[in-house]
Amino acid sequence: MTLYSCLPSQGKTAVIATWPGEYAESHSQKITTFTDSTQASRIADSLTRISESMWDAAAWLDVYDKAEAHLQSLIRALRETTDVPTISGPMFEGCRHYESWTGSDLAEGLSFGFPTVANTLTRAQRLSIADELEIDARARQESLQLLPTGHDPVDTDSRVWQAADITRATKMGLNGNYLPDGSAGWLVRVFGVDHGPAERWGARTLIHRLEQLEAASKTVNARGGAELETGLSLMAHLVLPASLFGVHLDHSGEDGPKISEEVHADVDKSILAAEYRKYAASKEFMRGDAVLYISPDINMRNTGQWERNVFSKVDIELSTRSGAISLATLEATDTDGFATALGSWVLNAEFRN
């Protein structure tokens, strides 16, 4: 995040923006000046909350596009002479991450918190704050275009160096056990902290894919989800109902499964459906639903944090009585490949590259 702080001097208070560049070297610039130190503190706090939440959302949350669009509307309002509007009602309706900690912070900050503070500013202060918000937003857009290519920014003072960093560690990252709230903490626990933004983005993409598959699987009544056991495993453990595949289990234990041609459209023609149906027809079948293990191709037990490949491919395996059947090994960004391997249900939750 970009951190905003107050610097008193000769009866006035300057608001300063500070952000980490290459090798975490700090860079700062003055944004605007206040005669009221309390007012300066309020705007610095509000700007920090917005920047922190927006950078976190840019990496992990599907609320990001709506949040950025609304922030741009606030920037335009700041440059006008009328009040910056507050809004009521849900801001991120339809987004699966709207109830996350960051999503809630953004909804409150953008809809009411920041506009309320902004409406106490002078014309010159409004214009300066608008310019600063625009600079921070442009850096986020640059990060979303640059980092998926695997390259770090060229400029040593670029704000992109802070992308996907664990700025929310104590607030949520290291304390959150579930995705997406705990995503930054999962990244650090699996891959450590000493990575540039492109490497952090690679690790982020692996974790985001597991969270996305968990969310999508719930739409077909699957059980399980993303799991992290530090130093041992990082995976999505999903259990899909046998009935999706036209396999009807006899839970009395007297008869084997009945296999019909009624394969659900969400899994029809997938590699998973073909392999699971073949397994269900075999003598070794154990009267169970389809159990999947989806994990980065990383030997977690025998590698340290710094040795783990943040750009690893993802293995998809179907568990059987005699071992695992490999369904596919894919780039984490290959949404079409995941749909081919697992079924069209994969498309029921957004994956943000």
Taking only the tens place, the pLDDT of each residue in 246-282 is 999 876 666 778 999 999 999 999 999 999 999 999 9
pTM, 2 dp: 0.93
Look over the chain and give the mean of its residue pLDDT values, rounded to a whole number: 93
| pLDDT of 1 | 87
| Domain range list for the chain | 3-162, 183-348
180, 289, 294, 298: which is closest to 237 by C-alpha?
A: 294
Taking only the tens place, the pLDDT of each residue in 58-76 is 999 999 999 999 999 999 9
Residue recorded with tokens 């075999």: 282
Longest dimension (CA), the chain: 87
**Weakest mean pLDDT among 120-124, 141-145, 190-194, 311-315:** 190-194
Torsion of CA 159, 157, 162, 304, to 10 degrees: 150
- The yes-or-no verdict on residue 172 having pLDDT over 60 is no
Per the DSSP assignment, residues forming a β-bridge with 319 are 324
Torsion of CA 270, 275, 277, 281, to 10 degrees: 170
And the tokens for 24?
């975490």
| pLDDT of 170 | 47
61, 62, 31, 35: which is closest to 48 by C-alpha?
A: 31
Instruction: Give φ, ψ of 296 to 5 degrees.
Output: -60, 145
Q: What is the mean pLDDT of residues 345-353?
A: 96
- pLDDT band per the 50, 70, 90 thresholds, residue 174: low
Taking only the tens place, the pLDDT of each residue in 76-87 is 999 999 999 999
- The yes-or-no verdict on residue 169 having pLDDT over 50 is no
**Weakest mean pLDDT among 86-90, 136-140, 174-178, 275-279:** 174-178
Taking only the tens place, the pLDDT of each residue in 179-234 is 998 898 899 889 998 899 999 999 999 999 999 999 999 999 999 999 998 778 99
- The yes-or-no verdict on residue 103 having pLDDT over 90 is yes
Q: What is the DSSP letter of 166?
A: -
Taking only the tens place, the pLDDT of each residue in 301-327 is 999 999 999 999 999 999 999 899 999
- pLDDT band per the 50, 70, 90 thresholds, residue 112: very high
Distances (CA, A) of 341 to 179, 208, 266, 268, 276: 23, 18, 12, 10, 12
Give CA–CA dist 184/167, Å, rounded: 8
